[in-house]
């Protein structure tokens, strides 16, 4: 399930300044501010358009910037490459939330065979963008976030490793998350216990893993007498036990109203009890909160939403699409419809209310989180959820541990 690798990683004394949020997490304004404070931020590699301050720059040029910036980080000694393979223990903590996992390389053969399970479909354009990045840069810059059903003995071994060694990194990022990393060169016991993990579940990184698999196929076809041991056959992954993970919902921001507000509320009353009560978080299964300018409504489904045999049908994200977004707003495939955008639940519903009241969205819906057991059950049945159904936090960062892919 997991093998050691020779990591590319920043020098310990500047790891916090180099590390960067994943490109999908940081907005342009935050990224520019971070670059102004941290000139060595890895955003120069994963989000070069912010450095260029030119969103019209063609992708080919942006990829060149990524290549050049990574090469400069290496030549300047900001990032170094290990000479010995290792696994890494990675702990994330903020407030009362904490989780500890293992970073190493997984075989893409396990992804192809279904041992690494997905719960969301990918967007073709985003997958292509990730594919072009990894082929151009040749490095997996951030580990795919995987969950596994806890193996108690593995948890004990990881705890012992933390007690018996000093971390190579220990810093607090600008978002308040503490990142602590231990290097494990004598990893045979951990590797053996990882073999007991029957399957792993993609928590975050569906596009990166799919694009790594596409890149592997391309590079393998170009290799004379491939052995299967080439680096492109593996993907960088961080595995965390399921009972330590924290799942937040993905709220929906809608950028238009299909009708006048009184008519919209009337349409919603066909399937929901609609109450203007100022509540911002759903109170039970099958319920939502609707944000309109200056008002918040609770929507409670009039039917029993726990009676579905299909686990996907009973999820709030599915119910919202089936009863509201498609029939009332005319939104079909939300992956392709720019009229709906998303806000991670960890940012809080006050942010939803603020954006609606400032006119940045016409309305918004807050949702319940989907729990980890539901996610694993859906993946085990080979089913997929609505896009942007889950948000896992805290997250590891780009530019801390990297894998040379080619």
**CA-only gyration radius of the chain, Å:** 22
- CATH code of the domain covering residue 34: 3.90.1530.10
The closest of 151, 164, 242 to 197, measured between CA atoms, is: 151
The answer to whether position 384 is within a domain reads no
Say whether both 239 and 260 belong to one domain.
Answer: no
Say whether both 229 and 259 belong to one domain.
Answer: no
The answer to whether position 382 is within a domain reads no
Alpha-helical regions (H) of 123-187: 124-137, 152-164
State the greatest distance between any 2 C-alpha atoms of the chain, in Å, as a whole number.
Answer: 68
Say whether both 56 and 141 belong to one domain.
Answer: yes
Retrieve residue 375's tokens: 């996610």
Find the domain containing 341 and state its range: 250-368
Say whether both 169 and 194 belong to one domain.
Answer: yes
Among the residue ranges 23-27, 157-161, 230-234, 332-336, the one predicted with the least confidence is 23-27
Residue-wise pLDDT for 88-100, tens only, equals 999 999 999 999 9
How many Å separate Cα 354 from the centre of its chain?
Answer: 24
Q: Strand, helix or coil at 300?
A: strand
Instruction: Specify which of 25-39, 92-106, 277-291 reaches the highest per-range mean pLDDT.
Output: 92-106
- CATH code of the domain covering residue 321: 3.30.1760
Instruction: Specify which of 102-106, 285-289, 370-374, 377-381 reaches the highest per-range mean pLDDT.
Output: 102-106
Say whether both 133 and 238 belong to one domain.
Answer: yes
Say whether both 189 and 327 belong to one domain.
Answer: no
Q: Strand, helix or coil at 113?
A: helix
Do 345 and 289 form a contact (C-beta atoms < 8 A)?
Answer: no
Say whether both 101 and 232 belong to one domain.
Answer: yes
pLDDT-based confidence at residue 322 (cuts at 50, 70, 90)? very high
Say how many domains are in the chain.
Answer: 2
Residue-wise pLDDT for 27-53, tens only, equals 667 777 777 788 889 999 998 887 766
The closest of 19, 7, 18, 184 to 81, measured between CA atoms, is: 7
Query: Phi and psi at residue 25, in whole multiples of 5°?
Result: -95, -40
pLDDT-based confidence at residue 125 (cuts at 50, 70, 90)? confident
Instruction: Give CA–CA dist 290/309, Å, rounded.
Output: 28
pLDDT the model gives residue 51: 75
List CB contacts of 164: < 8 A, sequence separation 6 or more. Answer: none
pLDDT the model gives residue 26: 56
In the block, tokens 């509201």 appear at: 324
The answer to whether position 121 is within a domain reads yes
Angle at 385 between CA 380 and CA 389, to 5 degrees: 120
How many Å separate Cα 283 from the centre of its chain?
Answer: 26
Retrieve residue 377's tokens: 């059950």
The answer to whether position 379 is within a domain reads no
Say whether both 326 and 237 belong to one domain.
Answer: no
Query: Phi and psi at residue 181, in whole multiples of 5°?
Result: -130, 135
């Amino acid at each position: 399930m997991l093998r050691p690798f020779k990591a590319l990683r920043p020098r310990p004394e500047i790891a916090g300044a180099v590390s960067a949020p994943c490109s999908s997490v940081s907005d342009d304004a935050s990224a520019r501010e971070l670059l102004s404070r941290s000139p060595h931020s890895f955003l120069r590699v994963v989000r070069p358009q912010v450095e260029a301050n030119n969103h019209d720059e063609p992708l080919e040029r942006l990829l060149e910037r990524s290549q050049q910036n990574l090469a400069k980080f290496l030549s300047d000694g900001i990032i170094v490459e290990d000479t010995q393979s290792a696994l890494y223990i990675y702990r994330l903590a903020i407030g009362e939330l904490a989780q500890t996992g293992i970073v190493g390389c997984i075989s893409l053969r396990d992804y192809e065979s279904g041992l690494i399970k997905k719960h969301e479909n990918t967007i073709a354009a985003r997958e292509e963008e990730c594919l072009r990045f990894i082929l151009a840069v040749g490095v997996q810059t951030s580990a795919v976030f995987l969950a596994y059903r806890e193996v108690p003995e593995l948890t004990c071994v990881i705890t012992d490793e933390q007690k018996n060694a000093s971390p190579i990194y220990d810093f607090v990022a600008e978002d308040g998350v503490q990142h602590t990393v231990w290097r494990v060169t004598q990893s045979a016991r951990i590797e053996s216990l990882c073999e007991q993990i029957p399957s792993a579940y993609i928590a975050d990184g569906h596009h990166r893993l799919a694009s790594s698999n596409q890149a592997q196929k391309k590079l393998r076809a170009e290799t004379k007498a491939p052995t299967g041991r080439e680096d492109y056959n593996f993907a960088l992954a961080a595995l965390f036990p399921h009972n330590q993970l924290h799942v937040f919902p993905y709220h929906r921001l809608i950028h238009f109203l299909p009708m006048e507000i009184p008519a919209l509320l009337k349409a919603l009353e066909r399937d929901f009890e609609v109450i203007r009560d100022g509540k911002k978080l759903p109170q039970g299964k099958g319920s939502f909160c609707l944000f309109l300018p200056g008002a918040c409504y609770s929507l409670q489904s009039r039917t029993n939403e726990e009676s579905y045999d299909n686990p996907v049908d009973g999820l709030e994200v599915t119910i919202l699409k089936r009863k509201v977004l498609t029939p009332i707003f005319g939104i079909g495939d939300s992956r392709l419809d720019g009229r709906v955008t998303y806000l991670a639940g960890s940012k809080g519903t006050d942010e939803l209310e603020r954006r609606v009241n400032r006119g940045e969205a016409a309305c918004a819906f807050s949702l319940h989180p989907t729990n980890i057991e539901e996610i694993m059950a859906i993946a085990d049945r080979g089913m997929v959820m609505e896009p942007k159904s889950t948000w896992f936090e805290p997250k590891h960062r780009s530019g801390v541990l990297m894998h040379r892919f080619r």
